[in-house]
Amino acid sequence: MFLLEAAWLCLVGAAVLGSWVLCRRKGPGPLQSQAVCLAAVWVGACLLNLSFLWSLVLCASSGFLLHTCRSDEESLPVDGKAVLVTGTDTGFGHGLAKHLDKLGFTVFAGVLDERSPGAEELRRSCSRRLSVLQMDVTKPEQIQDAYSKVVEKIQDKGLWAVVNNAGIIGFPIDGELIPMNDYKRCMAVNFFGPVEVTKTFLPLLRKSKGRLVMISSMGGSVPLLRMAAYNSTKAALTMFSSVLRQELSKWGVKVIVIQPGGFRTNISGTSDVWDKMEKNILENLPREVQEDYGQDYILKQRNFLQAMTTRTASDLTPVLQDVQHAISARSPSPFYAPGKLAYLWVCFASVSPTSLLDYVIKKLFTIGQDMPRALSMSS
């Protein structure tokens, strides 16, 4: 009986440890995910009918777990802390600039075009603490100019956090069909831009022992079809952040990666943008490749873009809350994966055999998809 109870205790201990890892990994959700995990542990203990001694041990370990999770939720005071956010014209960046402004942060909102509707809305709807900065992350001179304006305004107050959010997705299509200029553009905005911004503002973050937050993507870990350019840049950004997380720890700077799932933002562009990207693809394809794939196959890839605008979540709150937690929590998680099933996808991609991962992705993402002309003719 003693050995049997010891075996059950090991299982319960594994459940407690797994719950602790999940609580640490999933980030904010103030005690909601923690409560679910602990409830599952207690239900398991009741079903196992543990003795008083083992129940006492489980009670003590659960109490320690709850205390740890609560301590992780402890937030630092806002106190007008200054935060720089890039790519605030639309999407995550726009919503985040507004959200942080309401919380009392001093926000520097970097925009691609300071005369854009999004920039004007930020000036109109936010407090005077928010400053809109012209900041195309692919132009070093604009980054340096923004740096000078930030230093001039914060003076001795310091810069607490930088959120590298600016990004583009390009036209989702087979990697062979993506023009090289699209690969280079995507890498310039999604990777080299954040690296340039990071290197420019890191002296301020090291001085404040603040936070560096990277808005990456679930695609940085999961090899999604048609996303060769975008996913490659996000994978590079995630690895860059992981290296910096270790290197900057000695300076007291925390580096956090946000890997959102599917959310409805303007990153996919408009119909006019899609027309230009399709034209660019068709004009840059070698004749042999265009004949093998067929023009109809290329034009039908627009359906995937349309699906992105209808099947993704419109509520950006999970992303905004995770970024807020990354900036404000005394002990933030190194990774967050907001969005439906995003966390499970990232975990599955990291632990599953490659053949299984390829099979699942192929089954889920190729249903109803047309075949290239050469393959359909041969079949």
Give ranges for CATH 3.40.50.720 in the chain: 82-365
Per-residue pLDDT tens over the stretch 154-183? 988 899 999 999 999 888 889 999 999 999
Q: Phi then psi for 153, rounded to 5 degrees? A: -85, -40
Mean pLDDT score, 185-201: 97
Catalytic residue among 147, 230, 297, 336: 230
The sign of the CA dihedral 248, 252, 257, 263 is negative
Q: How confident is the model at residue 29 (pLDDT cuts 50, 70, 90)?
A: very low
In the chain, what's the furthest Cα-to-Cα distance? 76
The separation between CA 178 and the C-alpha centre of its own chain, rounded to angstroms, equals 23
CATH superfamily of 82-365: NAD(P)-binding Rossmann-like Domain (3.40.50.720)
3-class DSSP state of 255? strand
Contact between 268 and 309 (Cβ < 8 Å): yes
Verify whether residue 230 is a known catalytic residue: yes
Task: Tell me the two tokens of residue 378.
Answer: 């041969």
Per-residue pLDDT tens over the stretch 277-321? 888 888 888 889 988 998 888 888 777 767 766 777 788 899 999
The CA distance from 133 to 149, in Å, is 8
pTM value is: 0.80
